[in-house]
């Protein structure tokens, strides 16, 4: 029988490889014979990554840098960390020097609302993070040097005060990292309506490359009212050799083409004026814009009008304006209204397939009624869904980032919180598939406000039957939505001792790429860095706690990177660890009956290594099966549910 399998053609074997559940099975197959070893090395790892994570944008590995096997290792490691909520945090905050009278320099001025963007290059393993700090701009460069080695880190600052910029009026409202002429650059939009392309290369950081004029006629620029032209959002579209910019202000949407070389000023390719093109828009304001369908249309978030979610398409006859499609099924099933106010900074494109050149018509948006809505812009799509915090249904999300159709992160609109939502579509990969069978339920018991406790298909099956494709008691329940609730992290108490900002919002969210193991939150007065990392003091000392290929082992060091303490001090920033509280918030679907907040359960605070203390061998043997990261659980949570 084994000889017959080896003799099968590659096309048939590729189908078999695509059906394997975990990397353990792929490794075992590669060790069985020379034919399978070459098949797995040449095609198996690529097939595994593409079939198990089809919606993520995963670049093909560069020759001699990393291989598909390393990508499989990192994607599965990250998936497990997301599912177990293995997230650690630190705050990057300005240093506050006391004055002679004992009062801080920033005590008498309002804290800035930080907007952040990030880029991660998997080939060079270098990450660039840029954020607006009021009228100034901060950047951190960090490059991975290898496992256990100190990262190469540098900080740069463009001081707005030295440039004569004013607090408030000249604050940065939006920032995007782009490629320009083979080098790194970033675009900034300020409250004073200035839109500029600046260099992100360390040797000339912040030097202006191009100024984007608000109108074709240069003489008109000085007469434009600055309040109407304040930059609210930027979105970048790379299509072939062209890079297009969608810049949204209160009253207009302007499209620019990024110049290939340095230019003194660039005029818009076309302009969409809200008051001239949008029906019933006398008092409407444009808050955000997002490229959709690979540049064929642009989604718009408006305030002060009946249909706040719309889209426009540029046709040969000019701008074609449409209201987003409404689905009666969604309205009836979830009990939502389409005339509620949208959060303008929350538009996020959702990519269903990575191979579709990143074009999509699926859009995720947050609304002031506490819902997060996924819909097709043009038609009542069968993929439409509405998500919500099942414990506190009125909590809004100011910003969103999506990781394909795997999950999305929502930044709190009224507090220092983030919430991790699962899209609840069928998942090709579950990290529990690689764990041994277990004759018990998953543990600890989750908090599920609207779902009944599940029973497995077969209570007596303690071992998986791979011949008949039947899973055991534990593997069956571990895949269910009941045992995979969403989670919410609270930072207010942890950050209160570090910052004077008090209660605030997560104004922006950014990640370097779909395979980057960390992301960033722009908050009032600083930035929070989130990293996928298992709690270090609950693991054996020889086990890696960060992504083995793209993670930064020294991300906790002073200044947020090894060797960067002096540079961080020169830029005026300091890094401080955050210890949030974790709460599970249900399956995430919106329910019509969920019209009031539920009494919050006790928040599970970080317990460190105490939950693994003791001589009970079963506790140590069951550590891998724990449903969540050990750092957020108590010993009682682990020992219950025998």
Residue 497 has pLDDT above 90, yes or no: no
Q: If DSSP states are collapsed to H, E and C, what string results for 461-499?
A: CCCCECCCCECCHHHHHHCCCCCCCCEEEECHHHHHCCC
pLDDT bracket for residue 569 (50, 70, 90)? low
* Residue pair 600/187 in contact by the 8 Å Cβ criterion: no
Residue 641 has pLDDT above 70, yes or no: no
Block residue for tokens 């009021």: 134
Q: What span, in angstroms and rounded, lies between the C-alpha atoms of 44 and 20?
A: 10
Distances, alpha carbon 103 to alpha carbons 97, 109, 161, 497, 500, in Å: 9, 12, 20, 17, 12
Domain annotation covers residue 79: no
Domain annotation covers residue 478: no
Is residue 89 domain-shared with residue 237, that is, in the same domain? yes
Domain annotation covers residue 590: no
Mean pLDDT along residues 260-288? 80
Q: Among the ranges 83-87, 258-262, 332-336, which has the highest mean pLDDT value?
A: 83-87
* Domain, as residue range, for 58: 2-68
Q: What span, in angstroms and rounded, lies between the C-alpha atoms of 452 and 323?
A: 38
* Residue pair 341/348 in contact by the 8 Å Cβ criterion: no
Residue 453 has pLDDT above 80, yes or no: no
Block residue for tokens 């277990």: 438
* Residue pair 322/361 in contact by the 8 Å Cβ criterion: no
* Residue pair 519/509 in contact by the 8 Å Cβ criterion: yes
* Residue pair 50/429 in contact by the 8 Å Cβ criterion: no
Q: Tell me what pLDDT residue 617 has.
A: 42
**597-629 pLDDT, tens digit each:** 666 666 665 554 444 444 344 445 577 788 888
What rounded mean pLDDT belongs to the chain? Answer: 83
Torsion of CA 193, 197, 201, 206, to 10 degrees: -30
- Side-chain-side CA neighbours of residue 15 (13 Å): 5
Is residue 543 domain-shared with residue 577, that is, in the same domain? yes
* Residue 98 DSSP symbol: B
User: Of 554, 581, 608, at which residue does a domain stop?
Assistant: 581
Is residue 382 domain-shared with residue 246, that is, in the same domain? yes
Concatenated DSSP letters of 363-374: EEEEBTTS-EEE
Q: Tell me what pLDDT residue 599 has.
A: 65
Per-residue tokens: 366: 């947050």
Residue 567 has pLDDT above 80, yes or no: no
Sheet containing 233-239: order of strands? 233-239, 242-248, 252-257, 270-273
Closest among 272, 253, 269 to 319, alpha carbons compared: 272
Domain annotation covers residue 541: yes
Domain annotation covers residue 286: yes
Concatenated DSSP letters of 488-550: EEE-HHHHHTT-S--S--EEEEEES-TT-SEEEEEEBTEEEEEEE---GGGS-TTS--S-TTT
Per-residue tokens: 217: 């006629």
Q: What span, in angstroms and rounded, lies between the C-alpha atoms of 10 and 3?
A: 14
H or E element at residue 5: helix 2-6
pLDDT bracket for residue 431 (50, 70, 90)? very high
Find the CATH number of the domain harbouring 54: 1.20.1280
Mean pLDDT along residues 437-463? 77
H or E element at residue 321: strand 318-323
Mean pLDDT along residues 483-511? 82
For the entire predicted model, the pTM comes to 0.91
Mean pLDDT along residues 23-33? 92
Q: Tell me what pLDDT residue 114 has.
A: 93
Per-residue tokens: 247: 């810049």
Per-residue tokens: 333: 């099933």
* Residue pair 189/172 in contact by the 8 Å Cβ criterion: yes
Helix 10-18 vs helix 45-52: crossing angle, to nearest 10: 50
User: Of 563, 581, 599, at which residue does a domain stop?
Assistant: 581
Q: If DSSP states are collapsed to H, E and C, what string results for 126-167?
A: EEEEEEEECCEEEEEEEECCCCCCCCEEEEEEECCCCCCCCC
**58-113 pLDDT, tens digit each:** 988 875 567 899 999 999 999 999 999 999 999 998 887 655 554 444 443 447 88
Strand partners, 236: 245
Residue 642 has pLDDT above 50, yes or no: no
**538-549 pLDDT, tens digit each:** 655 556 689 999
Q: How far separated are the first and last CA of the chain, in Å rounded?
A: 42
Is residue 20 domain-shared with residue 124, that is, in the same domain? no
Q: What span, in angstroms and rounded, lies between the C-alpha atoms of 309 and 384?
A: 15
**227-242 burial code (b ≥16 CB/10 A, e <16):** ebbbbbbbbbbeeeee
Q: Tell me what pLDDT residue 64 has.
A: 57
Domain annotation covers residue 631: no
Query: What values do phi and psi take at 623, rounded to 5?
Result: -55, -40
Is residue 370 domain-shared with residue 503, that is, in the same domain? yes
Per-residue tokens: 577: 């660890």
Domain annotation covers residue 144: yes
H or E element at residue 277: helix 274-277
Mean pLDDT along residues 572-590? 87
User: How many separate domains does the chain show?
Assistant: 2
Is residue 115 domain-shared with residue 62, that is, in the same domain? no
Q: What span, in angstroms and rounded, lies between the C-alpha atoms of 560 and 565?
A: 8
Q: What span, in angstroms and rounded, lies between the C-alpha atoms of 99 and 614?
A: 51
Is residue 58 domain-shared with residue 118, that is, in the same domain? no
pLDDT bracket for residue 596 (50, 70, 90)? low
Is residue 22 domain-shared with residue 171, that is, in the same domain? no
- Side-chain-side CA neighbours of residue 243 (13 Å): 18
- In angstroms, what is the C-alpha Rg of the chain? 25
Strand partners, 526: 523
Cβ–Cβ contacts within 10 Å for residue 617, how many?
A: 8
Is residue 509 domain-shared with residue 552, that is, in the same domain? yes
Is residue 123 domain-shared with residue 51, that is, in the same domain? no
**146-185 pLDDT, tens digit each:** 887 899 999 999 999 999 999 888 999 999 999 998 899 9
Q: Tell me what pLDDT residue 621 has.
A: 59
**380-412 burial code (b ≥16 CB/10 A, e <16):** ebeebbbbbbbbbbebbbbbbbbbbbbbbbbbb
Q: What span, in angstroms and rounded, lies between the C-alpha atoms of 181 and 387?
A: 41
Find the CATH number of the domain harbouring 331: 2.130.10.10
Is residue 229 domain-shared with residue 363, that is, in the same domain? yes
Q: Which residues 6+ apart lie within 8 Å of 429 measured at CB?
A: 21, 22, 52, 53, 76, 79
Mean pLDDT along residues 525-531? 94
| Three-class SS state of 613 | coil
- Side-chain-side CA neighbours of residue 40 (13 Å): 20
Domain annotation covers residue 641: no
**Cis ω on the peptide bond leading into residue 444 (within 30° of 0)?**
yes
Is residue 22 domain-shared with residue 134, that is, in the same domain? no
Query: What values do phi and psi take at 465, rounded to 5?
Result: -105, 95
């Amino acid at each position: 029988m084994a000889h017959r399998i080896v003799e099968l053609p590659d096309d048939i074997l590729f189908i078999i490889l695509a059906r394997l559940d975990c990397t353990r099975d792929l490794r075992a197959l590669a060790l069985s014979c020379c034919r399978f070893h070459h098949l797995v090395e040449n095609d198996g790892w690529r097939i595994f990554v593409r079939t198990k994570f089809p919606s993520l944008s995963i670049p093909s590995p560069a020759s001699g840098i990393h291989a598909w096997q390393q990508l499989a290792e990192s994607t599965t490691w990250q998936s497990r960390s997301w599912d177990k909520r293995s997230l650690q945090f630190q705050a990057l905050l300005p240093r506050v020097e006391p004055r002679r009278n004992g009062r801080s320099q920033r005590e008498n001025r309002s804290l800035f609302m930080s907007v952040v963007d990030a880029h991660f290059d998997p080939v060079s393993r270098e990450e660039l993070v840029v954020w607006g700090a009021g009228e100034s701009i901060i950047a951190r460069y960090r490059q991975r040097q290898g496992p256990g080695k100190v990262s190469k880190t540098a900080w740069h600052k463009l001081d707005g005060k030295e440039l004569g910029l004013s607090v408030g009026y000249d604050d940065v409202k939006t920032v995007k990292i782009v490629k320009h002429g083979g080098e790194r650059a970033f675009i900034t939009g300020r409250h004073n309506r200035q839109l500029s392309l600046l260099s992100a290369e360390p040797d000339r950081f912040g030097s202006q490359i191009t100024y984007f004029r608000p109108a074709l006629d240069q003489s008109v620029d000085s007469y434009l009212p600055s309040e109407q032209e304040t930059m609210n959002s930027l979105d970048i579209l790379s299509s072939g050799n062209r890079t297009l910019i969608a810049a949204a202000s209160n009253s207009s949407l302007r499209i620019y083409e990024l110049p290939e070389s340095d230019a003194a000023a660039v005029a818009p390719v076309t302009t969409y004026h809200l008051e001239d093109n949008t029906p019933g828009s006398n008092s409407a304001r444009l808050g955000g814009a997002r490229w959709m369908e690979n540049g064929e249309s642009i989604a718009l978030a408006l305030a002060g009008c009946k249909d706040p979610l719309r889209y426009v398409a540029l046709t040969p006859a000019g701008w074609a304006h449409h209201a987003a499609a409404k689905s009666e099924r969604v309205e009836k099933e979830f009990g939502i209204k389409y005339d509620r106010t949208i959060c303008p900074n929350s538009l996020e494109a959702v990519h269903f397939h990575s191979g579709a050149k990143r074009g999509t018509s699926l859009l995720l948006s947050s609304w002031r009624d506490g819902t997060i809505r996924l819909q097709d812009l043009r038609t009542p799509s069968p993929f439409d869904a509405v998500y919500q915090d099942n414990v506190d249904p009125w909590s809004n999300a100011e910003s969103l980032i999506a990781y394909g159709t795997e999950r999305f992160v929502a930044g709190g609109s009224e507090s220092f919180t983030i919430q991790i939502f699962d899209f609840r579509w069928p998942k090709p990969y579950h990290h529990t598939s690689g764990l041994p069978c277990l004759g018990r339920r998953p543990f600890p018991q989750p908090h599920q406000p609207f779902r009944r406790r599940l029973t497995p298909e077969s209570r007596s099956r303690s071992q998986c039957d791979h011949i008949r494709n039947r899973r055991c008691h534990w593997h069956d329940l571990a895949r269910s939505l009941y045992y995979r609730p969403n989670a919410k992290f609270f930072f207010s108490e942890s950050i209160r001792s570090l910052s004077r900002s008090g209660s605030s919002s997560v104004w922006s969210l950014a990640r370097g790429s779909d395979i980057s193991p960390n992301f960033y939150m722009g908050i009032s007065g600083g930035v929070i860095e989130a990293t996928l990392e298992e709690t270090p003091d609950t693991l054996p000392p020889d086990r890696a706690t960060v992504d083995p290929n793209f993670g930064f082992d020294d991300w906790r060091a002073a200044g947020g990177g090894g060797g960067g303490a002096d540079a961080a001090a020169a830029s005026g920033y300091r890094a401080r660890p955050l210890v949030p509280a974790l709460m599970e918030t249900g399956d995430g679907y919106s329910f019509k009956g969920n019209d009031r907040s539920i009494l919050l359960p006790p928040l599970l605070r970080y317990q460190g290594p105490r939950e693994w203390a003791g001589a009970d061998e079963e506790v140590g043997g069951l550590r891998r099966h724990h449903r969540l990261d050990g750092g957020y659980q108590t010993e009682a949570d682990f020992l219950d549910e025998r």
